[in-house]
């Protein structure tokens, strides 16, 4: 049961031009958003003005492979900033909002990830978060001296050890290790330094980290996805979970499944915030919102939609199928994101959709939950999910940027605030403060 006065959490998930596949063509979108720093400053400050908890940046580490006709019409996952570099810059341009970026465990070293995010937590005065993911897109492996990905199970076993090393490195120094006393000449207390000496299946890391313990103790650990392997890793490390249920019933099940596993790791249910993706299309009337959706969809070329569907299905070759024939059923592969794969197959089967229709649905929302209507209607849906314990809040995915984010912040958030469901001012100085997450106690604390 929700406690009286409990507030929902809101993140803003920025795909540079927006989450609709044709977003870059919209009149209220920034076509060069992927490499336009001023654009990111603008939308981050808009989210901060709306008192949102955080911004969230995904990552792609290869140029998306696609049919030339589709590639020529695409803006997403082609050319954009490296996200850790970007959030470091955004930290200097903002004051309160959390800044979360993705770094894959498949093609990084734990020491690098620990050092970068601890540094950004210092730079931002405690507002950093790391989105812990594995990589499954075939093209990614080719850029890192591999011809194929690790198998799905191996990826998550490796990710678990990766996260263990990172979080232990964040505890390399006690909070008060650095004295910096000019009069006595003592800079640090050597007894408050802790060497890791980790020797595991995948990594050997001596430590300690050459960054002091950061303002939050650990940057907030975020995870995205919904496979069983991800849930096991998330139950141990995840503090914010971004997921992709397509209806309230799916979200309630996911919410209870993942929070039900926290006790195994001596964690409480409130130590994790579950925030499903929500793509909101705001209109003054339901009819206007529907018109906005139809207009966006009209900007999508069928080949582009088909290629986005292929990407979600781990590169399945859809070109040999008739666009207007029933959507073929594909089993998950070791490279696919299993939760989103199963969602897409379920949509097509239950709706008896053609390949064209399935591609259109997936391309528009990128497989996420879409709600469209008046600000009051969107707030009704959000309130229902929140009070039903289907979630702790939402990761808002504007279909185009900056226009759709402006609509959400200017029209939906005030409704939520009026109902007492969302803050009117930030509660604290750090991302943990605002999310209601405790600061981790160092494993070396006496």
Q: What is the tens place of the pLDDT at every residue in 20-29?
A: 989 999 999 9
Which pLDDT score, from 0 to 100, does residue 365 have? 58
Q: What is the pLDDT of residue 191?
A: 97
Residues of the chain above pLDDT 90, percent: 69
Write out pLDDT tens, residues 392-439: 999 999 999 999 999 999 999 999 999 999 999 999 999 999 999 999
Whether the per-residue pLDDT at 359 is higher than 70: the answer is yes
| Burial class (CB within 10 angstroms; exposed 0-12, middle 13-18, buried 19+) of 407 | buried
Q: pLDDT by residue (tens digit) across 36-57?
A: 999 999 999 999 999 999 999 9
Tens digits of residue pLDDT in 214-228: 999 999 999 987 777
With residue 311 as reference, give the H or E element that holds it: helix 302-312
pLDDT digits (tens, 9 = 90+) for 124-182: 999 999 999 988 777 788 888 887 777 777 888 999 999 999 999 999 999 999 999 99
What is the DSSP code string of 31-67?
TTGGG-HHHHHHHHHHHHHTT-SEEEE---SSPPP--
Q: Are 388 and 276 in contact (CB under 8 A)?
A: no
Read off the tokens for 391. Answer: 């979630």
Band the pLDDT of 288: cuts 50, 70, 90.
very high
> Is 274:385 a contact under the CB 8 Å cutoff?
no
All structural domains of the chain with their residue ranges = 9-287+368-435
pLDDT grade for 74, boundaries at 50, 70 and 90: confident
Q: What DSSP string describes 58-102?
A: ---SSPPP--HHHHTT--TTTS---HHHHHHHHHTT-SSSEEEEE
Question: What confidence tier does 319 reach under pLDDT thresholds 50, 70, 90?
Answer: confident
Q: Are 129 and 99 in contact (CB under 8 A)?
A: yes
What pLDDT does 337 receive?
A: 60
pLDDT value of position 21: 86
User: Among 11, 15, 9, which residue's Cα sits nearest to residue 399?
Assistant: 15
The predicted pLDDT at position 364 comes to: 65
- Position 76 scores a pLDDT of 77
The confidence score (pLDDT) of residue 252 equals 96
Instruction: Please report which confidence band the pLDDT of residue 71 belongs to, taking 50, 70 and 90 as the band edges.
Output: confident
Residue 347 has pLDDT above 70, yes or no: yes
Residues whose CB is less than 8 angstroms from the CB of residue 11 and which lie 6 or more positions away in sequence, other chains included: 52, 53, 54, 55, 56, 98, 100, 240, 242, 275, 393, 394, 395, 396
Strands 178-181 and 186-188: antiparallel
Give mean pLDDT, residues 81-88: 97
Residue 290: its pLDDT value, please? 94
> In this model, does residue 61 exceed pLDDT 90?
no
User: Among the listed ranges 97-101, 143-147, 330-334, which one has the minimum average pLDDT value?
Assistant: 330-334
Residue 89 has pLDDT above 90, yes or no: yes
Predicted pLDDT of residue 66: 72
390 φ, ψ to 5°?
-90, -15
Residue 289 has pLDDT above 90, yes or no: yes
pLDDT range class, residue 366, cuts 50, 70, 90: low
Kindly state the tokens that stand for 125.
Answer: 């005065």
Kindly report the average pLDDT of the chain as a whole number.
Answer: 92
C-alpha span between 24 and 305 (Å, rounded): 14
At residue 311, does pLDDT exceed 90?
A: no
Task: State the pLDDT at residue 306.
Answer: 87
* pLDDT reading at 367 higher than 70: no
Residue 265 has pLDDT above 80, yes or no: yes
Q: In terms of pLDDT, which residue wins out, 126 or 367?
A: 126
Of 110, 313, 85, 100, the C-alpha closest to 223 is: 100
**Superfamily designation of domain 9-287+368-435:** Luciferase-like domain (3.20.20.30)
Confidence tier at 336 by pLDDT (50, 70, 90): low
């Amino acid at each position: 049961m929700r406690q009286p006065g409990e507030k929902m959490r809101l993140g803003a998930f920025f795909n540079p031009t927006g989450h609709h596949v044709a977003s870059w063509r919209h009149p209220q979108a920034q076509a060069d958003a992927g490499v336009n720093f001023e654009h990111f400053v603008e939308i981050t400050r808009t989210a901060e003005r709306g008192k949102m908890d955080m911004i969230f940046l995904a990552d792609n580490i290869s140029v998306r492979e696609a049919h030339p006709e589709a590639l020529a019409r695409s803006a997403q996952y082609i050319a954009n900033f490296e996200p850790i570099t970007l959030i470091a810059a955004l930290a200097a341009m903002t004051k309160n909002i959390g800044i979360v970026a993705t770094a894959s465990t498949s093609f990084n070293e734990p020491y690098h990830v620990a050092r970068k995010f601890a540094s950004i937590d210092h730079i931002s005065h405690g507002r950093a978060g790391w989105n812990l993911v594995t990589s499954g897109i075939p093209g990614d492996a080719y850029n890192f001296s591999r011809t194929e990905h690790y198998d799905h199970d191996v990826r998550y076993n490796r990710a678990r050890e990766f996260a263990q090393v990172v979080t232990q490195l964040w505890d390399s120094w006690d909070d008060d290790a650095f004295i910096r006393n000019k009069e006595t000449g003592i800079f640090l207390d050597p007894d408050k330094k802790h060497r890791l000496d980790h020797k595991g299946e995948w990594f050997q890391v001596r430590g300690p980290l050459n960054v002091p313990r950061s303002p939050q103790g650990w940057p907030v650990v975020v995870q995205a996805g919904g496979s069983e392997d991800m849930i096991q890793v998330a139950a141990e490390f995840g503090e914010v979970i971004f997921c992709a249920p397509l209806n309230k019933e799916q979200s309630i099940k996911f919410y209870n499944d993942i929070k039900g596993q926290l006790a195994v790791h001596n964690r409480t249910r409130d130590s994790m915030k579950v925030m499903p993706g929500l793509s909101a299309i705001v209109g003054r009337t339901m009819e206007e919102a529907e018109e906005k959706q139809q207009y966006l969809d009209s900007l999508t070329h069928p080949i582009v939609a088909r290629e986005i569907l292929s990407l979600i299905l781990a590169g399945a070759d859809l070109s040999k199928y008739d666009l207007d024939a029933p959507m073929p059923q594909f089993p998950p592969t070791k490279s696919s994101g299993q939760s989103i794969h199963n969602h897409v197959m379920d949509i097509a089967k239950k709706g008896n959709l053609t390949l064209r229709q399935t591609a259109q649905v997936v391309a528009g929302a990128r497989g996420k939950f879409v709600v469209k209507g008046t600000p009051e209607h969107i707030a009704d849906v959000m309130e229902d999910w929140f009070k039903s314990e289907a979630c702790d809040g939402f990761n808002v995915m504007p279909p185009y940027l900056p226009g759709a984010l402006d609509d959400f912040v200017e029209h939906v958030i005030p409704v939520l605030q009026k109902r007492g469901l969302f803050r009117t001012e930030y509660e604290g100085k750090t991302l943990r403060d605002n999310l209601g997450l405790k600061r981790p106690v160092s494993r070396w604390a006496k």
